[in-house]
Chain A
Amino acid sequence: MGSLKEYIIMRALLVIPTVFILLTLVFFILRILPGDPIVAMLGQKVPPEVLEKLRAELGLNKPIWEQYIDYLSHVIRGDLGRSMIWGRRPVIEEIMDRFPATLELTIFSFAISVFLGITTGSIAAFRRGSKIDTGMRLYSIIAYTLFIPWFGMLLQMLFGVYLDLLPIGGRIDPGLEPPHITGLYVLDSILTMHWRSLESALAHLILPSLTLGIVLSGAYTRLVRNNLIEVLNQDFIRAYRARGVRNRKIAFHAMKNAFIPIITLMGLQFAILLAGAVLTETTFSWPGIGTFLLERIQYRDYTSVQGVIVFYALFVAMISLIVDVIYALLDPRVRY
């Protein structure tokens, strides 16, 4: 497995140019947008000399290329800088405060989307050509095209307002936050045995993770169905049947073969999952990185936005690397 180590190092090195390009794009796009953090925060009526002074403090009076070099040299040293508004906290602290919320939502949505996608896709493939198959394919197309805020609000109306069963926003009822261990409320309340916190955290998770999970499951349904049908048509499946292997076991082998390419999709979907999380968080007032990002874009908080982008890029790269390693371990044909 020494070559696997080499592969991981290669992949890790490739992340550097990716992040660099992304960061450069974001840096300049943000500065092309009209307005700047000072105006956004203090409004239009600030006296010009105060404006100049505050700009000089943030280094915004320097030529743009100088700001760029300055910022890059900090990022290389692992320093994402400080936020440009409201207390100027270090960006990394702002991110870490909100990351557990996003991670919790992402994990639950991911689990829901994979579960729904695999179930519906497998049913469709095994019942290929039937009405059930048509129904599952319809589900996949509808789920895939749903607009997250619209669908989220629909669920809020239905379960939150009309049926009054579930909370429509936030992470947990006030005062029930479990002691901080990992920042994931569900995990922390289990670890510290705060059962009321657990109940509240789960109730708050249902609607947002269902929204995001259902929307993302559409792609899986299609892929699982198509892959499984392709595998079921292969010679070795017929050979299993010709040897009198039970249908149940053949289905197991078929699914194992069909899921390997889907694991790759899971890695790719992760970036979409994070993007979807931004919309879901906003819809459900979920205090995660997505809400933070949207807020800081409005305030032109350059360093925070850039920081979140770098963080997301590294996170996605890490996940896709993990997925690749899992893929290599599962498929005997792949050796790096």
Chain B
Amino acid sequence: MNEDQRLIQFEARINAGEKIEPKDWMPEAYRKTLLRQISQHAHSEVIGMQPEANWALRAPTLRAKKILLAKIQDEGGHGLYLYSAAETLGVDRAEMIEQLQQGKAKYSSIFNYPTLNWADMGAIGWLVDGAAIVNQTMLAKCSYGPYARAMLRICKEEGFHQRQGYEIMAKMMAGNDAQKAMAQDAMNCWWWPSLMMFGPHDADSPHTKESMQWKIKVESNDKLRQRFINRTVEQAYHIGLTVPDPKLKYNKETMNWEIGPINWDEFWNVVKGNGPCNHKRMAHHIKYHNKGQWVRDAAIAFAQNETFVTAL
């Protein structure tokens, strides 16, 4: 079979709704796009532990602390599921981490914003994880088997992330004026960056068409963003939060909440490395990756000692 015939067969399988598995033939562009997307997704989960870890030692109650630690552990686990899925495409995890640390691979820009008050923990769970769930529920239908399966598992686990975040916000909105102000401040900080998580508008997203043709994505950025907005605006009103968008209005015909223009200059500026925490996030990742070297060395030395291995 030549390449053209293989491509026709590949696309026929995709159109029939079949999943592509690691050892199946796939076009190089499909493999490359998936690898970029899955590794970026994995890096985001891992870097996303940092803004939350900032509050692990300062959570207001023991209950809050337990929940936060469980959530951070989940994010680490999600990163590992995704690295595993990416590895099925033939790249070693060590290589992906190297690309991240050298700035050749990206992670979600949202994690380049700081978490200055406790309400930011609420906003991250409710808004950032909420946006991620909308995106990931779509990706669970992706044509690449290992990615779709990782997404299913992640979506199941993220349900609690979003609810615990909304609970924090609701509690603060039921508190005193200072607490309400903190919650509103977090809403103001995280609302627009959450909307940007869905990526550029469809018209400005060059990869969307091919990704949708091969069912790497099954819905467009704008459609997913709108779904998130519709859900979230009502949740905000429900606990008395104001959406920081003076142009926000409800369209009775389309039944959509329509937003004002997104500040894409800010988005691209943060993507390019000029967000408030870009440097800090990467420096931290590199520092602790290097600090863990002796643990890896010790584990390898232990495994290579046959006396110990046979004793296991």
The judgment on whether A and B are partners is no
